[in-house]
Amino acid sequence: MVEGLRAVGRGRGAAPEGGGWGYGACAVFASGEDGAGKWVCGCPRWTPGEHLRICPQGYTCCTSEMEENLANRSRAELETALLDSSRALQATLTSQLRGFDDHFQRLLNDSERTLQEAFPGAFGELYTQSAKAFRDLYAELRLYYRGANLHLEETLAEFWARLLERLFRQLHPQLLLPDDYLDCLGKQAEALRPFGEAPRELRLRATRAFVAARAFVQGLGVAGDVVRKVSQVPLGPECSRAVMKLVYCAHCLGVPGARPCPDYCRNVLKGCLANQADLDAEWRNLLDSMVLITDKFWGPTGAENVIGSVHLWLAEAINALQDNKDTLTAKVIQGCGNPKVNPQGPGPEEKRRRGKLALQEKPPSGTLQKLVPEAKAQLRDAQDFWISLPGMLCSEKLAMSSASDDRCWNGVAKGRYLPEVMGDGLANQINNPEVEVDVTKPDMTVRQQIMQLKIMTNRLRSAYNGNDVDFQDASDDGSGSGSGDGCADDACGRRVSKKSSSSRTTLTHALPGLSEQEGQKTSAARCPQPCLCLLLLPVLALVLAASRPRWR
Residue 189's pLDDT band (boundaries 50, 70, 90)?
confident
Please state, in angstroms and rounded to a whole number, the distance separating the CA atoms of residues 72 and 64.
13
What integer pLDDT is reported at residue 534 of this predicted model?
Answer: 39
Q: 260 by DSSP, 3-state: which?
A: strand
User: Tell me: the pLDDT tens digits for 421-480?
Assistant: 999 999 999 999 999 999 999 999 999 999 999 999 999 999 999 888 764 433 333 333
User: Tell me: the pLDDT tens digits for 382-434?
Assistant: 999 999 999 999 888 776 666 667 788 898 888 889 999 999 999 999 999 99
Residue 194 near residue 337 (C-beta atoms within 8 A): no
What integer pLDDT is reported at residue 194 of this predicted model?
Answer: 92
Q: Measuring CA to CA, which residue among 442, 441, 450 is closest to residue 533?
A: 450
What integer pLDDT is reported at residue 492 of this predicted model?
Answer: 35
Q: What is the pLDDT averaged over residues 501-506? A: 40
User: Tell me: the pLDDT tens digits for 203-223?
Assistant: 999 989 999 999 999 999 999
- CA angle, corner 146, sides to 476 and 134, nearest 5? 100
pLDDT above 70 coverage of the chain, percent:
70
> Using CB atoms within 10 A of its CB, is residue 34 exposed (0-12), middle (13-18) or buried (19+)?
middle
Please state, in angstroms and rounded to a whole number, the distance separating the CA atoms of residues 69 and 84.
22
Please state, in angstroms and rounded to a whole number, the distance separating the CA atoms of residues 283 and 503.
37
Question: Dihedral sign, CA of 111, 114, 116, 121?
Answer: negative
What integer pLDDT is reported at residue 218 of this predicted model?
Answer: 95
What integer pLDDT is reported at residue 170 of this predicted model?
Answer: 87
The DSSP bridge partners found for residue 47 are 60
Classify residue 51 by its DSSP letter: T
Residue 257's pLDDT band (boundaries 50, 70, 90)?
confident
The DSSP annotation for 482-542 comes to: ---TT--HHHH---SS---TT--PPBSSPPTT--HHHHHHTT--PPPTHHHHHHHHHHHHH
Mean pLDDT, rounded, of the chain = 77
